[in-house]
């Protein structure tokens, strides 16, 4: 899948704990969980239509599961297994999240003028400046080594007296000094693919309208509370063309290994082997 089109498929995530749109005046809403997730050591118990949040000073840990957190409108933080973060500030105008362990991806679908997102990794500050897809990996609990990858967008990384602008296809290594280099944005893993499926599911959302091959995917509608007290509703949408029947969606959401175990796949392999056998 092209990294420039990480929202270009409509997939349904199996086993959703929560799948509704969320309206929030602050960052930190727990939007979706899989497996064992805790906040300050207390297990998160999914309940339909209830969305708990991570308050400033609290830490969320994905032990043997994964989690999706709504930050500012249109921005989602996703955690892999054995990963954790601390909420430093949940203000929409100054959202700051400290990545403690493991791997995190941030999908910035929309960055409003009044909103700001900053990730912290030890003494490094990472400001997300544009819409895009970002990933941060820590090398260990007690290690200050780690890596930021920018699949799409632009980030400003500051550590001590160093500042690096990281754009699409660049990664920044954290250590005694910051080091920037190119990376292969086509190289992905299971966590990346899961994050992409979550992004696609949200883009399709409960508001999906299907008509033949033309589908308008309506993203989550959010409400922003501004400093003057006025409440302004916003919604974003992306339109593309794709044959997207339920069967196609279900097929897209299966892995190659799952498809290879189907009877028709085994039958095709046997037929191929027979055709190669000597007469």
Q: Are residues 243 and 139 in the same domain?
A: no
Q: What is the pLDDT of residue 76?
A: 96
* Residue 165: half-sphere exposure toward Cβ, Cα within 13 Å: 5
Q: Tell me if 140 is assigned to some domain.
A: yes
Tens digit of each residue's pLDDT (9 = 90 or more) over 123-175: 999 999 999 999 999 987 667 789 999 999 999 999 999 999 999 999 999 99
- Cβ-proximal residues to 83 (8 Å cutoff; 6+ apart), any chain: 61, 62, 99, 101, 102, 103, 104
Cβ partners under 8 Å of residue 182, min gap 6: 169, 170, 171
128/226 same-domain check = no
Query: CB-based contacts of 7: which residues, under 8 Å, 6+ apart?
Result: 109, 199, 200, 203, 238
* Residues paired with residue 224 on neighbouring β-strands, in sequence order: 232
Query: Cα(116)–Cα(114) distance, rounded to whole angstroms?
Result: 7
| The pLDDT value given to residue 230 | 41
Helix (H, G, I), strand (E, B) or coil at 258: helix
Q: What is this structure's pTM?
A: 0.69
Which structural domain range is residue 261 located in? 207-276
Average model confidence (pLDDT) across the chain? 75
For the chain, give the percent of residues with pLDDT over 70.
Answer: 63
pLDDT at position 22:
60
Residue 51 lies in a domain: yes
Statement to judge: residues 185 and 122 lie in one domain: yes
Domains contained in the chain, number = 2
Whether 6 contacts 168, CB under 8 Å: no
Both 160 and 227 in a single domain? no
- Higher-confidence residue: 6 or 182? 182
* 182 and 217 belong to one structural domain: no
Q: For residue range 67-105, what is the model confidence (pLDDT) as tens digits?
A: 999 999 999 999 999 999 999 999 999 999 999 999 999
- pLDDT tens sequence across 109-120: 999 999 999 999
């Amino acid at each position: 899948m092209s990294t420039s089109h990480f929202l270009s498929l409509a997939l349904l995530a199996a086993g959703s704990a929560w799948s509704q749109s969320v309206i929030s005046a602050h960052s930190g809403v727990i939007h979706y969980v899989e497996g064992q997730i805790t906040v300050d050591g207390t297990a998160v118990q999914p309940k339909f239509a209830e969305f708990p949040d991570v308050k400033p000073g609290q830490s969320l840990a994905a032990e043997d599961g994964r989690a999706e957190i709504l930050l500012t409108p249109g921005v989602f933080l996703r955690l892999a297994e054995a990963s954790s973060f601390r909420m430093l500030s949940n203000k929409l105008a100054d959202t700051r999240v400290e990545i403690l362990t493991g791997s995190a991806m941030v999908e910035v679908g929309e960055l409003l003028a009044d909103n700001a997102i900053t990730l912290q990794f030890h003494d490094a500050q990472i400001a997300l400046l544009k819409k895009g897809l970002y990933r941060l990996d820590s090398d260990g609990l007690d290690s200050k080594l780690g890596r930021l990858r920018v699949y799409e967008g632009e980030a400003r990384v500051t550590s001590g007296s160093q500042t690096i602008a990281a754009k699409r296809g660049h990664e920044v290594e954290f250590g005694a000094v910051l080091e920037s280099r190119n990376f292969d944005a086509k190289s992905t893993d299971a966590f990346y693919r899961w994050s992409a499926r979550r992004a696609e599911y949200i883009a399709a959302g409960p508001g999906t309208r299907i008509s033949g091959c033309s589908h308008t995917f309506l993203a989550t509608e959010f409400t922003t509370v501004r400093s003057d007290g006025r409440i302004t509703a916003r919604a974003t949408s992306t339109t593309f063309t794709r044959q997207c029947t339920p069967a196609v969606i279900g097929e897209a959401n299966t892995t190659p290994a799952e498809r290879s175990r189907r009877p028709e796949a085994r039958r095709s392999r046997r037929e191929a082997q027979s055709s190669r056998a000597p007469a």
